Structure 1
Amino acid sequence: MGYRVVVAGATGNVGREMVNILAERGFPADEVAVLASSRSQGDQIEYGDTGKLLKVQNIEHFDPAGWDMALFAIGSEATKVYAPKFAAAGCTVIDNSSLYRMDPDVPLVVPEVNPDAIDGYKARNIIANPNCSTAQMVVALKPLHDAATITRVVVATYQSVSGAGKVGMDELFEQSRNIFVGDSAEPKKFTKQIAFNVIPHIDSFLDDGSTKEEWKMVVETKKILDPKIKVTATCVRVPVFVGHSEALNVEFANELSAEDAKRILREAPGIMLIDKHEDGGYATPIEAAGDDATYVSRVREDPTVENGLALWCVSDNLRKGAALNAVQIAELLGRRHLKKGNEAALIADEARETANED
């Protein structure tokens, strides 16, 4: 007997990826329900490449009783309404919004980094998925932190427009087309023109001059990885459709050479090291799009500080930064706590995790 799984927000970019990844990874689901707002009710969504079509149901009228887990990709406002209802009905919520990330009673989980944190989910029956830029960064940092203890991180992000949803992707496409034909490229979703430009502003500004996106990277890294780590971030929107990139300068308490760091990263779960000192010997968002790995390149020693490294990190923000991480949380929840599903599927899941570690 497998799980009964809900995907809420299934018509959006992240929700569709959640559905696809459930199918791709052979998640042991006996039944999958896809939910959205009333305007999408009755639409059909393909369940990966299985040929199976799922009919979209209205989340307002859906009864979560008897369902095992729900993957939420509906934004904070809707999550505030529906997550408590689902959790109270016994359906564990895995939430992609920012609403519960800093709630002390809600675990914030990246399975390769802090799998034990999931054990606290019973307090609210809710598990939080981190911010997309945080998720890929902590995957890259975790094995290095274990080896030499990170004390400080300086990160500059280069975040794709898909992080702002379909409207962000549409705006980049439309502005690029309009510029080529001489039409207006006035911004609608973004604060300035995004086509052929970069914007050092993601989310709202805070009193100290940082943005909320930058604040998220700071506090989420501390909650997931280590509260003692100092983090400063500059988050930038760039004209890339899919894939976030990050330039990281990392300081350690103990010495760690670039060669040792590469060896550690090469063996770490969830990481693909591409680092050749030659033209094209590094990862870009093009390579990361559609892939599950967090790519790391340009690992080198930082001579401006004691025990410092610089590196480049790239990942598909719709997958590891959101949908994939949510499905991995669901798999972890199943293995550690719910323990349903046929034995073969669970063994295959565990084998895949072991292979990643190897």
Structure 2
Amino acid sequence: MSFKIAIAGATGNVGREMLDILAERGFPVSEVVALASSRSVNTEVSFGDKTLKVKNLENYDFSDTDICLMSAGGTISQKYSPKIGAQGCVVIDNSSAWRYDADVPLIVPEVNPDAIEGFRKKNIIANPNCSTAQLVVALKPLHDVARIKRLVVSTYQSVSGAGKEGMDELFNQSRAVFVADPIESKKFTKRIAFNVIPHIDVFMDDGSTKEEWKVVAETKKMLDPKIKVTCTAVRVPVFIGHSEAVNIEFESEITADQARDILREAPGCQVIDKREDGGYITPYECAGEDATFISRIREDPTIENGLNIWVVSDNLRKGAALNTIQIAELLVNRGLVKPRQRAA
């Protein structure tokens, strides 16, 4: 069986990554259609050894398309995803538009694959926030063994999480520092070059930012609503790769050695944890990799049944494009989507 796949937002960072990963993983496609806004029509994007010309999302007919990978932003998804789903095409959405809808499953395949069964209510499946995706991949196998009571998460998020504009701003500001040019901040609220900014997304009434709220809400939805979660999200001058320092309090006793052994066997996880210089992973090293890397696994003596871990992943891959493709693979492997009849 092979499937007709549409990618909405194909000219963006994540859309292009989706095209690359579809080809890399040999997803069974009969046809791939690249879609974007009217201003990007006829722009060329690569899919394997093929070149695709971008078509207009606004007037595209999805009646013979099997799966739409949506990476065009929340506003566009809110407008188009229900219409696409109503045409019988399953939407896997990368924005935050549908993550908190009770009728839309929020999926990380290594964490809660069975929840995908609920997609038929709206024909929409949500992809989690990039920082949450890697977090729950590392937490799920530990939660299964010792039950997590409380999490304290500090994120160190790369500028690619803010799209091409974020990456351009870091590059331009860094260059300006070395040639003594004026530094302009357009995408971020403060200078990002050689700096860190404890502010991602808008502020909420309780003083947290929406990015921090997303980590809390999504972890509870996918892992366990009883877990207490607090988060501080920080933007750092790194191009690709999100990092997280995670303090975990468990219900049951679990040692660092036990956690290390559990994570070594867990799907999607790779443990790099030597207690020596360089015996850990950094975002620079994880760029282009599919795994969620875990390092610095150690016991926290200040609480009962506590551990600290360091979690790093490529936010454009596991945090976005790769997870979306894995959801599509889950649909296919479980027989939840079938190729549709094509017009002659």
The interval holding the TM-score normalised by the smaller chain is over 0.9
Equivalent residue letter for 1:32: V
Q: Which of residues 173, 176, 199 is equivalent to 1:175? A: 173
Deviation, structure 1 residue 39? 1.1
CA distance in 2, matches of 1:61, 1:90: 16
1:33 aligned residue: 33
Q: Assess if the C-alpha contact under 8 Å between 2:107 and 2:116 holds in 1.
A: yes
Counterpart secondary structure, 2:334: helix
Give the Cα separation in 2 of the matches to 1:147 and 1:284. Answer: 27
Q: Distance in 1 between matches of 2:184 and 2:49?
A: 41
Match of 1:93 in 2: 91
Secondary structure of 2:54 counterpart: strand
* Offset, 1:89: 0.3
> Of 114, 137, 145, which aligns to 1:116?
114
Alignment match, 1:159: 157
Unaligned runs of 5+ in 1: 342-358
- Aligned counterparts of 2:79 and 2:87: Cα–Cα separation in 1: 14
Q: Which residue of 2 aligns with 1:336?
A: 334
Asked if 1:208 is matched to 2:206, the reply is yes
SS in 2 for 1:174: helix
TM-score (norm 2): 0.98
Question: CA-to-partner distance for each residue in 1:81-126, whole Å, 9 max, x for gaps?
Answer: 1101100000000000001000000000000000000000001100
Aligned partner of 1:136 in structure 2 is 134
| Alpha-carbon displacement from aligned partner over 1:194-251 (angstroms, at most 9, x marks no partner) | 0000000000000000000000000000000000001000000000000000000000
What amino acid is the match of 1:93? V
Distance 1:120 1:340 in 2: 16
CA distance in 2, matches of 1:63, 1:106: 23
The question of whether the paired residues in 1 share the 8 Å contact of 2:66 and 2:337 is answered with no
1:320 pairs with one of 318, 328, 334: 318
Code of the aligned partner of 1:15: G
CA distance in 1, matches of 2:81, 2:121: 14
Structure 2 residue runs of 5 or longer lacking an equivalent are 340-344
Alignment match, 2:254: 256
Is 1:55 aligned with 2:53?
yes
**TM-superposed deviation, 1:338:** 3.5
Q: Secondary structure of 1:204's match?
A: coil
**Partners of 1:252 and 1:52 in 2: CA distance:** 49
Aligned to 1:338, the other structure's residue is in SS state coil
In 2: Cα distance, 1:153 partner to 1:161 partner: 24
Which of 64, 67, 72 is the equivalent residue of 2:65? 67
Task: Report SS of the residue matched to 1:165.
Answer: helix
CA contact (8 A) 2:66 2:338 kept: no
- Alignment length, in residue pairs? 339
Q: Distance in 1 between matches of 2:67 and 2:251?
A: 40
Q: What are the superposed Cα offsets for residues 249-278 of structure 1, whole Å, 9 maximum, x if unpaired?
A: 000000000000000000000001000010
**Structure 1 position 187 matched with structure 2 position 193:** no
Matched with 1:345 is none
Within 5 Å, give how 1:341-356 maps onto structure 2.
none
Query: Separation in 1 of the partners of 2:174 and 2:180?
Result: 10
Matches of 1:185 and 1:155, distance apart in 2: 31
The 5-angstrom pairing of residues 196-275 of structure 1 reads 196-275=194-273
CA distance in 2, matches of 1:335, 1:294: 22
- The SS at the match of 1:74 is coil
Query: RMSD of the alignment, in Å?
Result: 0.8
How much has 1:340 moved relative to structure 2?
Answer: 4.4
CA distance in structure 1 between the aligned counterparts of 2:105 and 2:88, rounded to whole angstroms: 17
Structure 1 equivalent of residue 5 of structure 2: 5
Q: Provide the C-alpha distance between the structure 2 equivalents of 1:176 and 1:200, rounded to a whole number of angstroms.
A: 19
Q: Secondary structure at the match of 1:303?
A: coil
After TM superposition, the runs of 4+ consecutive aligned structure 1 residues lying more than 6 A away are: none
SS at match of 1:317: coil
How far does residue 55 in structure 1 lie from its aligned partner after superposition?
1.1
Q: Return the alpha-carbon distance in structure 1 between the equivalents of residues 185 and 96 of structure 2.
A: 25
Q: CA deviation at 1:337?
A: 3.2
Q: Pick one of 67, 73, 76 that aligns with 2:74.
A: 76
User: Is the contact made by 2:18 and 2:325 (CA closer than 8 Å) also made in structure 1?
Assistant: yes
1:146-193: CA deviation from partner (whole Å, max 9, x where unpaired): 010000000000000000000000000000001110011121000000
For 1:307, the equivalent position in structure 2 comes to 305
Q: Matches of 1:134 and 1:44 in 2, distance apart?
A: 32
Structure 2 residue 144 is matched with structure 1 residue 146: yes
Aligned pairs for 1:5-24 (under 5 A) are 5-24=5-24
Question: TM-score, normalising length from structure 1?
Answer: 0.94
